[in-house]
Amino acid sequence: MKINIPSKYKKIWERAEPLLKKCRPGDLIHAKQTAELVYNFIKTHKKGDMDILIPVAIFHDIGHAAILPEHFEKISGLKKLPNSKLVHMLTGAKIAKEILTKIKYPKSKTKEIIEIISIHDMEEPKWFDTKNKKIFRDLDHLDRFSKKRFKTILNLTNWTPKQLIEYLKKKEIPFFFNREIKEIAEEMLKEREKEYKLLS
Ligand SMILES: [Fe+2]
Ligand SMILES: [Fe+2]
């Protein structure tokens, strides 16, 4: 899969791609899109460290590659439990550390990369205590406002589009750390409202 990131990070992508293909359907494309989103965001807003956040984007869900099919439903979708979510975060951090060590990635960057991967899906804001953690959390959450993911969530939940929009407004929008990213989410939400003809 072609990825539009600076060539210095391509070595990481090449090593991660075969494992991402073993993850859940959608994890490979989500890793690619999040890495490109991080790249474009940092280029535009000059906020955050690309050397940290591009590897994080590539690796963040890679832990799913090591999870057995029979454990899948405990860790994904509506039945996912906080404790089992931990498994993919910690396994992912371990896989990332092994690959980054192998390619001799700067140690100073590797430390925060694995730290972010190991907490990226935590619910409580207190875990996101650095600028890079806050940026990654926000960019990762944009996915759920996208046309494709919105539809997937509707199929999984049996919610009406109106209910899902209300949920995103109440449970997602207020919790963005970065104003710029929150504004992108609000724009995306308006597009979803238009699509489902819910604009008053
Ligand atoms: Fe995750
Ligand atoms: Fe993600």
Give the distance (Å) from ligand 1 centre to CA of residue 11.
22
Give the distance (Å) from ligand 2 centre to CA of residue 140.
5
> What pTM was estimated for this model as a whole?
0.92
Give the distance (Å) from ligand 2 centre to CA of residue 61.
6
Percent of the chain with pLDDT over 90: 81
Q: Is residue 151 situated within a structural domain? A: no
pLDDT bucket at 83, cuts 50 / 70 / 90: low
Q: Is residue 109 situated within a structural domain? A: yes
Q: Is residue 176 situated within a structural domain? A: no
Q: Which residues of 124-162 are buried (b: 16+ CB within 10 A; e: fewer)?
A: eeeebeeebbbbbbbbbbbbbbeeeebeebeeeeeeebe
Give the distance (Å) from ligand 1 centre to CA of residue 164.
21
CATH of the domain at 59: 1.10.3210
Q: Which ligand is nearest to the CA of 141?
A: 2
List, for residues 108-128, the tens digit of each pLDDT value: 999 999 999 999 999 899 999
Q: Is residue 123 situated within a structural domain? A: yes
Q: Could you give the angle at the alpha carbon of 57 between the alpha carbons of 77 and 102, nearest 5°?
A: 115
Structural domain that includes position 122: 7-143
Number of separate domains in the chain: 1
Output the six-digit token pair for 163. 């209910």
